[in-house]
C-alpha cells in the first residue's frame, strides 16, 4: 500500500535540530488525530496512544506549583472495591468527561468544569456478568461523531457492545440488534457472542442446548469478557476481547479472542479476524497437533491504537490457553504475543510481528502500541513502538511492519518437561537497548549485589545452586535430576499499571520499569484433573445460588501445571541477590534508539536503606510505587501510585505530582495531591482553562478511587 502524499508531508515537514543531548528531534512533527482544540478523544489522548498533549502550554514550569484542586469526582458510590477499578483514563469532548467506574463498569458523563455527574448508564445484570473474570479491569470508553451527534461506545464485562448518546447517556435509537433479555433496552446494544462464535466449530457442534443470552457461553466451551474499550476508526467500531487469565487455567479449550468490526452508525456486524488461523489462512501451520480446532484465548488485554489515514488499527494479543505449558499446542502459535495491523474496513491482516513465540511465561503484551513519526538516518518513518513486560522495546514501520532496526532471533533455554514445547529462538531487538539490560544478560557480575564484599560472596554462593538466565527461562519438572535447584529468569519491563508515553514533538519516549528475578514454579502432572484456579470475582451473595463453579465434564486439561514443592531464589536476610531496582523511569530518543537517561523514581524503602548489612552504603533503588506519567506542553508530568507499593510523598506526608524537564528528567516544580495517583492521567482545555485529571485511589490509605482535577487559580 502506498502512503498518500498528505501522510508523507506530515512526516517530512518537520525541521530537525541535532542537539548533543537529544540526537535527532523532530521539531515540527504532527500528532495523530484526537487532540484538536484541546480535547482528548481517545483513551491515550490521540489515536497513536502517546498520552501526550504538547500543544497545551497554559500550565508550565513557571506556574505549575500554583496548581489547585479544581474538583474531586469520587467513585465509592459505584460499588465495592472501587479503589481497584479506576483504571479508566477519561476522554474529554465538548465540555464533558466520559469514563467507566466500578465492577459493573458503569459509564458516567461528567461536567469537565465542576466534576458534577451529569448522567450514568448501567447495564442490567446478567448471569454472564456474574461469571465474568475481569469485571474490575475496565479501561475506558470510545468516542465518535455520527451524523453530527457524539456517541460513546463501551464493551461491558458481560461482552455486550453499547452505543450511548454522549449528551444524555441513553442507548442510541435504531442502533444494534434487540437482545431477548427482558431488562435490556431493545436498541443501542449488540450481543457480541453470537457473531464471535458463529463460525467456531465447537460452538456449531455443541450439545449444551440452545443459546441463552443471559447465561452466555456455557463453561464447558469457555468464557469471554472484555477489558479494554473498543476503538472507533473511520466509522468502524473495533471490539477487543478478554478471557480468564491463561495462568489460572489447566483446561486447554476456550473461545478464541477473534477481533470484530461493527458499523459505528448502525451497529451492523462487518468483519471478524481469526486470531487463531483456520485452514488456508496465514499462520495456520504454526499450530501443530490440530490445536487450532479447540485452543482459545489470545485476548487483547491492552488498548488498541490506530492510524486513520492509513486505515489501520493496531492490536496486541496475549497467549493461548495454559501459559505454563504448551505441549498441547506446539508451534509458534500465531497470532499470540503479536502486534497485528488490520485493515479497519475489511479486517484483513496487513502485517503482523510476533513479539514472542509460544508464550508460557505470562509475557502478554501489556500496553497499546505507540504511534509516532520519527526521523531515522534522515529518513521520515511512520513508527510503531511496542513496550513489553520483558523490558524489550520493538520499533516497527507502522505502514509495512518492517523493523526500523534489526531484530535477531536468538537461542533460548529449552524445556525439560516431558511433552512440552518451547520455541528454539526468540526475537531480540538490537536497538533500542532494553529498559534493563539484566533481561538479556541475566544476573552477571555487573548485576550481582556487591555493595559489600560479604554481600557479593553470599550472593554468588546462592546463585551457584541455580541455573541463571535472562528471559524465556522455562519451568522445570518436579522432580528433576539436574545438579542445580531451579532455573532463574529476570524481567525488567512495565505492566498495565504504568503505561509508557511519548512526545511527538521531540521523538522521546518515556517508560517506567522495575527489576525482578525469580525461579519459576515447577510443573507437575495434572493426571487429567481440571484444577482451574480463576474463580469469578463476585461475592457469594451475588451468585444467588444460580450457578456454582464446579469441575467441568467433557474437557481436556494440560498434561502439566504448576505445583509441587517450590525452589525459590533465596534472599540474603531480605536483600535480593541482585542489585535492586524497584522503580525507574527511562527516556529514549526514538529517532536514534539511544537511551537518554534512566533515573530511580521514589524513595527506597527503609527496610533496604537501613538494612544492617548495608550500614554506611548509599543506595537509591527507587520506591515500590509504579511511576505514572504524561506529556503536557514542555513538561513531563510524573507521580507514583501505591496500589501495590508506597507512593512518593513530600514533607507533609502527602503524594506529589512532579513537573519534570522532558529532556533531562530534572524536577522543575511539584504540587501536593490529596491522594496517590493510579494508572494514568490526562489533560484538556475547557472554556480557555487547562485541566489535569489524575486517576487516584489507595486501598492502604482507605481512599476509594476518584478523579482529581487540577487547574490554575
Task: Give the residue from 274, 302, 324, 467 showing the smallest Cα distance to 387.
Answer: 302
Ramachandran category for residue 401: left, alpha or beta (phi over 0 → left; psi -120 to 50 → alpha): left
Q: Is residue 652 a part of any domain in this protein?
A: yes
Helix residue ranges per DSSP H, 395-539 = 438-441, 453-463
Flag whether 551 is in a domain.
no
- The mean pLDDT of the chain is 89
Q: Is residue 49 part of a domain?
A: yes
Pairing mode, if any, of strands 656-661 and 635-640?
A: antiparallel
> What is the predicted pLDDT for the residue at 84?
54
Task: Please state the domain count of the chain.
Answer: 1
Does residue 282 belong to any structural domain of this protein? yes
Q: Which residues pair with 269 in a beta bridge?
A: 262
Return the top range by mean pLDDT from 208-222, 265-279, 606-620: 265-279
Provide the percentage of residues in the chain whose pLDDT is more than 70.
Answer: 90
Q: How confident is the model at residue 75 (pLDDT cuts 50, 70, 90)?
A: confident
Q: Is 26 part of any domain?
A: yes
* Predicted confidence (pLDDT) per residue in 600-611, tens digit: 999 898 888 899
Q: What integer pLDDT is reported at residue 549 of this predicted model?
A: 34
Q: What is the pLDDT of residue 647?
A: 80
d(CA 295, CA 322): 9
CATH number at residue 450: 2.140.10.10
Report, as an integer, the average pLDDT of 624-650: 87
Strands 52-53 and 627-632: parallel
Residue 556 belongs to a domain: no
Instruction: Give me the helices (H) in 421-516, please.
Output: 438-441, 453-463
What is the DSSP pairing of strand 516-518 with strand 486-491? antiparallel
Look at residue 222 and tell me whether its pLDDT is greater than 90. Answer: no
The string of pLDDT tens digits covering residues 224-254 is 999 899 999 999 999 999 987 766 677 888 9
- Per-residue pLDDT at 248: 63
C-alpha 529 chain-centroid distance: 32
Is the pLDDT assigned to residue 534 strictly greater than 50?
Answer: no
pLDDT for the residue numbered 644 = 62
What is the pLDDT confidence band of residue 290, given thresholds at 50, 70 and 90? very high
Q: Are 527 and 558 in contact (CB under 8 A)?
A: no
Provide the pLDDT for residue 191.
Answer: 98
pTM over cut 0.85: yes
Mean pLDDT for the stretch of residues 455-474? 96
Q: What's the pLDDT at 85?
A: 55
Asked whether residue 559 is assigned to any structural domain, the reply reads no
What do you get for the CA distance between the two ends of the chain, in Å? 50
Residues sharing a CB contact under 8 Å with residue 324, sequence separation 6 or more, in sequence order = 247, 360, 475, 521, 523, 558, 560, 561, 562
pLDDT grade, residue 552 (50/70/90)? very low
pLDDT of amino acid 13: 35
Q: Look up the domain containing 606 and give its range.
A: 5-546+565-711
| H-run or E-run covering 597 | strand 594-600
Over residues 183-187, mean pLDDT? 94
CA dist 243 → 156, 249, 291, 525 (Å): 13, 11, 18, 24
SS3 452: coil
Q: Could you tell me how far CA 278 lies from the centroid of its own chain?
A: 27
Phi then psi for 613, rounded to 5 degrees?
-80, -10
> 134 preceded by cis ω (within 30°)?
no
Burial of 481 (0-12, 13-18, 19+ CB in 10 A): exposed
pLDDT band, residue 645 (cuts 50/70/90): low
In order of 199, 234, 315, the CA distances from 343 in angstroms are: 21, 11, 11
pLDDT band for position 272 (50/70/90)?
very high
Question: What is the distance between the alpha carbons of residues 309 and 314, in angstroms, rounded to a whole number?
Answer: 13
* Residues 311, 47 contacting (CB under 8 angstroms): no
Place of cell 544492617: 612
Amino acid at each position: 500500500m502506498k502512503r498518500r502524499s498528505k501522510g508523507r508531508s506530515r512526516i517530512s515537514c518537520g525541521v530537525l535540530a541535532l542537539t548533543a543531548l537529544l540526537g535527532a528531534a523532530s521539531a515540527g512533527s504532527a500528532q495523530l488525530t484526537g487532540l484538536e482544540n484541546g480535547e482528548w478523544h481517545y483513551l491515550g489522548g490521540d489515536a497513536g496512544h502517546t498520552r501526550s498533549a504538547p500543544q497545551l502550554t497554559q500550565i508550565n514550569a513557571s506556574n505549575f506549583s500554583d496548581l489547585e484542586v479544581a474538583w474531586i469526582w469520587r467513585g465509592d458510590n459505584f460499588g465495592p472495591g472501587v479503589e481497584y477499578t479506576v483504571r479508566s483514563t477519561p476522554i474529554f469532548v465538548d465540555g464533558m468527561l466520559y469514563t467507566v467506574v466500578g465492577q459493573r463498569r458503569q459509564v458516567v458523563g461528567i461536567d469537565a468544569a465542576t466534576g458534577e455527574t451529569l448522567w450514568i448508564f448501567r447495564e442490567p445484570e446478567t448471569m454472564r456478568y456474574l461469571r465474568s473474570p475481569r469485571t474490575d479491569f475496565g479501561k475506558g470508553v470510545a468516542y465518535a461523531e455520527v451524523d453530527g451527534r457524539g456517541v460513546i461506545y463501551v464493551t461491558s464485562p458481560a461482552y455486550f457492545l453499547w452505543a450511548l448518546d454522549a449528551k444524555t447517556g441513553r442507548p442510541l435509537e435504531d442502533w444494534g440488534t434487540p437482545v431477548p433479555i427482558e431488562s435490556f433496552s431493545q436498541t443501542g446494544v449488540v450481543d457480541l457472542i453470537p457473531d464471535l462464535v458463529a463460525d467456531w466449530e465447537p460452538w456449531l457442534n455443541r450439545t449444551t442446548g440452545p443459546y441463552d443470552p443471559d447465561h452466555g457461553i456455557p463453561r464447558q466451551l469457555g468464557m469471554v469478557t472484555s477489558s479494554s474499550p473498543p476503538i472507533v476508526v473511520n466509522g468502524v467500531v473495533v471490539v477487543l476481547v478478554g478471557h480468564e487469565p491463561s495462568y489460572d487455567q489447566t483446561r486447554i479449550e476456550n473461545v478464541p479472542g477473534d477481533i470484530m468490526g461493527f458499523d459505528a452508525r448502525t451497529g451492523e456486524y462487518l468483519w471478524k479476524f481469526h486470531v487463531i488461523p483456520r485452514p488456508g489462512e496465514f499462520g495456520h501451520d504454526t499450530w501443530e497437533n490440530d490445536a487450532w480446532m479447540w485452543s482459545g484465548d489470545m485476548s487483547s488485554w491492552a488498548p488498541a491504537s490506530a492510524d486513520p489515514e492509513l486505515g489501520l488499527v493496531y492490536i496486541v494479543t496475549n497467549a493461548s490457553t495454559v501459559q505454563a505449558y504448551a505441549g498441547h499446542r506446539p508451534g509458534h502459535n500465531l497470532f499470540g504475543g503479536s502486534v497485528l495491523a488490520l485493515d479497519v474496513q475489511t479486517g484483513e491482516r496487513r502485517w503482523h510481528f510476533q513479539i514472542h513465540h509460544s508464550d508460557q511465561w505470562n509475557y502478554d503484551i501489556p500496553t497499546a502500541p505507540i504511534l509516532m513519526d520519527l526521523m531515522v538516518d534522515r529518513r521520515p518513518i511512520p513508527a510503531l513502538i511496542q513496550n513489553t513486560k520483558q523490558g524489550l522495546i520493538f520499533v516497527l514501520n507502522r505502514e509495512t511492519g518492517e523493523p526500523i532496526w534489526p531484530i535477531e532471533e536468538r537461542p533460548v533455554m529449552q524445556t525439560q518437561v516431558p511433552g512440552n514445547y518451547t520455541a528454539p529462538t526468540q526475537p531480540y531487538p538490537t536497538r533500542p537497548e532494553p529498559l534493563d539490560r539484566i533481561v538479556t544478560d541475566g544476573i552477571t557480575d555487573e548485576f550481582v549485589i556487591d555493595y559489600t564484599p560479604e554481600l557479593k560472596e553470599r550472593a554468588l554462593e546462592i546463585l551457584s545452586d541455580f541455573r541463571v538466565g535472562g528471559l524465556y527461562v522455562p519451568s522445570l519438572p518436579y522432580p528433576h535430576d539436574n545438579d542445580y535447584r531451579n532455573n532463574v529468569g529476570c524481567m525488567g519491563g512495565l505492566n498495565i499499571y504504568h503505561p509508557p508515553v511519548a512526545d511527538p514533538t521531540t521523538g522521546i519516549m518515556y517508560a517506567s520499569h522495575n527489576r525482578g528475578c525469580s525461579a519459576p514454579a515447577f510443573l507437575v502432572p495434572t493426571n487429567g484433573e481440571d484444577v482451574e484456579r480463576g474463580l469469578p470475582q463476585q461475592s457469594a451473595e451475588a451468585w444467588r445460588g444460580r450457578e456454582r463453579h464446579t469441575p467441568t465434564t467433557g474437557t481436556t486439561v494440560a498434561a502439566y501445571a504448576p505445583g509441587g514443592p517450590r525452589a525459590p531464589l533465596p534472599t540474603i536476610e531480605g536483600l535480593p541477590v541482585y542489585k535492586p531496582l524497584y522503580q525507574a523511569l527511562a527516556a529514549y530518543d526514538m529517532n536514534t534508539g539511544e537511551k537518554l537517561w534512566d533515573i530511580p523514581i521514589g524513595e527506597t524503602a527503609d527496610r533496604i536503606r537501613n538494612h544492617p548489612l548495608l550500614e554506611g552504603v548509599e543506595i537509591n533503588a527507587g520506591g515500590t510505587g509504579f511511576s505514572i506519567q504524561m506529556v503536557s506542553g514542555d513538561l513531563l508530568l510524573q507521580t507514583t501510585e501505591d496500589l501495590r507499593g508506597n507512593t512518593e510523598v513530600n514533607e507533609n506526608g502527602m503524594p506529589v505530582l512532579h513537573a519534570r524537564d522532558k529532556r533531562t528528567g530534572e524536577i522543575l516544580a511539584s504540587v501536593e495531591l490529596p491522594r496517590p495517583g493510579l494508572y494514568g492521567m490526562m489533560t484538556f482545555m475547557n472554556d480557555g482553562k487547562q485541566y489535569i485529571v489524575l486517576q487516584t485511589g489507595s486501598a492502604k490509605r482507605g481512599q476509594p478511587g476518584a478523579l482529581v482535577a487540577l487547574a490554575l487559580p
